[in-house]
Amino acid sequence: MTAADRSDAATASTANEYIALEQEFGAHNYHPLPVVVAHGEGARVWDVDGKRYLDFLAAYSALNFGHRHPAILAAARDQLEHVTLTSRAVFTDQLGAFERDLAELTGKEMVLAMNSGAEGVESAIKIARKWGYEVKGVDSDRAKIIVCEDNFHGRTTTIVSFSTDPTARTGFGPYTPGFSHVPFGDIEALGEALADPDVVAFLFEPIQGEAGVIVPHDGYLRAVRELCSKHNVLMIADEIQSGLGRAGYTFACDHEGVTPDMYILGKALGGGIMPLSAVAANHDILGVLTPGTHGSTFGGNPLACAIGRTVLGLLRTGEIQERSRVLGDKMLRTLRDAGLPTVTAVRGRGLWAGIELTLAAGPARTHCETLLERGLIVKDTHATTLRLAPPLVIEEDDLDWALEQFLEVLSGS
C-alpha cells in the first residue's frame, strides 16, 4: 500500500483511535508526540492522514541511513527467503562474515553480536568484570567500574543502578553494586578513580547523547586513553548513539584519533530494521567468554547479520560520515550564528545537536509540539533541551527548510 492509498483510507478520527489504543492497552512508559506515523522513506515520514513530516529524531539515531534504505531493504528481503533464525546452537552462513566485517571496521580481533543496546552494555560489563578477575588479577567479586555522571547506557536493572537520573533510577532498587561516578569531562577525577587497583573499566559515552548532546573538551578522549592504559583499566566506549556516522566520523572517538579497548555498538547497526548490537574487542579481552558463560537466543541471528553487513558496507565508503560532517557543520553554524534570544548554547558534532533553551523560552516540549505542527519531528531531552538528529541521508534542501523552521520558532515569530 502506498502512502497515498493509506491517506485515502485514513481520517483524523482514526489517528485519535490509534492514540487511544496505545493509551488504553500500552504501558505508559513514554510520552509520544501526537502524530501517528504510517509510512517512512529516507528522512521523511507520513502520518495516517497523509501529512508529511521531516524526521529529526531518526529513532534516537537508529535510522542513520533513513527509513527503508533500498540496499538495506534488499538485503533483508533476500535473507527472508533463506533463513531468519537458528540460535547459536549451529553455525550460519551470515554470522562469521558479519563478525569479520565489523572486526575490520573497528580494527578489533573479535566481535560479540547481541540485540538491544542495553544488552550490548550488559555484555561489556560482564566481559570487563571477568577480564578483571582472570587477566588483571582483581580479587573475586571486588571489580569496580567507573562511569560518568549524567550517563545513559540503557534501562536494565544493573544499568539503571548506576544512572544519576532520578526518573530512570528511583523505585527500581535494590541496586547492583560495583560502580562509581566521576563528572563527565573531568580528567583529574578520573585519574584519581582509576588509581584504585580494583577498577577494571571506565565505561562512558564519548559524547553524552541523552544528557543533551554534551561534547567533551578537546583532549578529553586522548587523556582518557592515556589514563586507562597507565592504570591497566579497560576503556569502554559506548558508541551506541555516537557511532556509525552520527558524529561525523565512523566513531566519535575518531575525532581525537583514539581507539578504546572495547566498542559497544547498536542502534544504526541494525539498519532501522532489526535490533542488532555488538561488542568489539581483542582476543585478550573478549576471549574471556567461553561456551555457556554468555548468550542470547536471537543474538547474531542471520537476518540481523545480513542487514548488519549491508550497513557496514555502506559505512566502508566513508560517504555517510562525510555527509554527516559537512551538513552537520552547516546545521551547527546556522543555529549558532542566528544568535537566538531563546537559546543559551548549541552543542554538537556531525548531524547531531543539542539546543539549550533559556528558562524564559518555556518547556522544550512545547517547542517540539509547535515544530510538529509545521511538519518537523523533534524530541526534547530534559525540560530545556531540544535534540536534533536527522537521518544522515537527509537532502540538503530538507535540512535548509528544517533550519528555517527552527529559526522561526525559536525566535518567536
Ligand X SMILES: Cc1ncc(COP(=O)(O)O)c(C=O)c1O
**Catalytic positions:** 152, 238, 267
Tell me which residue has cell 544568535: 339
Nearer residue to ligand X within complex by CB, 120 or 328? 120
Containing 355, the helix (H) or strand (E) segment is strand 353-357
Check residue 385 for interaction with ligand X (CB under 6 A): no
Check residue 205 for interaction with ligand X (CB under 6 A): yes
Question: How far is the C-alpha of 273 from the C-alpha of 305, rounded, in Å?
Answer: 11
What's the Cα-to-Cα distance from 91 to each of 96, 112, 116, 119, 367, rounded to whole Å? 8, 14, 22, 22, 50
Site string for ligand X, 83-122 (x = CB under 6 A): ---------------------------------xxx--x-
Question: How far is the C-alpha of 365 from the C-alpha of 229, rounded, in Å?
Answer: 42
- Contacting ligand X within 150-169 (CB under 6 A): 152-154
Containing 189, the helix (H) or strand (E) segment is helix 187-194
- Contacting ligand X within 5-64 (CB under 6 A): 60
- Contacting ligand X within 287-306 (CB under 6 A): none
Nearer residue to ligand X within complex by CB, 47 or 150? 150
Region near ligand X per CB under 6 A, out of 37-45, 167-175, 202-210, 386-394: 202-210
Region near ligand X per CB under 6 A, out of 149-157, 165-173, 348-356, 393-401: 149-157
Nearer residue to ligand X within complex by CB, 71 or 168? 168
Q: How far is the CB of 125 from ligand X (least distance, A)?
A: 12
How big is the site for ligand X, counted in residues (CB under 6 A)?
15
Question: How far is the C-alpha of 34 from the C-alpha of 365, rounded, in Å?
Answer: 12
Q: How far is the CB of 334 from ligand X (least distance, A)?
A: 25
With CB under 6 A as the contact rule, the residue among 99, 238, 261, 398 that binds ligand X is 238
Q: Which residues contact 18 (CB under 8 A, 6 or more apart)?
A: 36, 48
CB 342 within 8 A of CB 411: yes
Q: How far is the CB of 209 from ligand X (least distance, A)?
A: 5
Q: In sequence order, what are the beta bridge partners of 356? A: 345, 385
Nearer residue to ligand X within complex by CB, 7 or 277? 277
Question: How far is the C-alpha of 124 from the C-alpha of 277, rounded, in Å?
Answer: 11
Nearer residue to ligand X within complex by CB, 42 or 154? 154
With CB under 6 A as the contact rule, the residue among 143, 240, 335, 393 that binds ligand X is 240
Tell me which residue has cell 519531528: 377
Nearer residue to ligand X within complex by CB, 55 or 205? 205
Give the residue at shortest CB distance from ligand X.
117
With CB under 6 A as the contact rule, the residue among 42, 66, 209, 260 that binds ligand X is 209
For CA atoms 261, 267, 273, 276, give the dihedral sign.
Answer: positive
Check residue 243 for interaction with ligand X (CB under 6 A): no
Nearer residue to ligand X within complex by CB, 121 or 244? 121
Q: How far is the CB of 40 from ligand X (least distance, A)?
A: 19
For residue 394, the tally of other CB atoms under 10 A from its CB is 23
Question: How far is the C-alpha of 287 from the C-alpha of 285, rounded, in Å?
Answer: 5
Q: Which residues contact 67 (CB under 8 A, 6 or more apart)?
A: 40, 41, 42, 43, 44, 45, 55, 272, 391
Region near ligand X per CB under 6 A, out of 32-40, 99-107, 203-211, 355-363: 203-211
**3-class state of residue 48 by DSSP:** coil
Question: How far is the C-alpha of 190 from the C-alpha of 227, rounded, in Å?
Answer: 8
With CB under 6 A as the contact rule, the residue among 64, 94, 123, 241 that binds ligand X is 241
Which residues sit at the interface with ligand X, rule CB under 6 A? Answer: 60, 116-118, 121, 152-154, 205, 209-210, 238, 240-241, 266
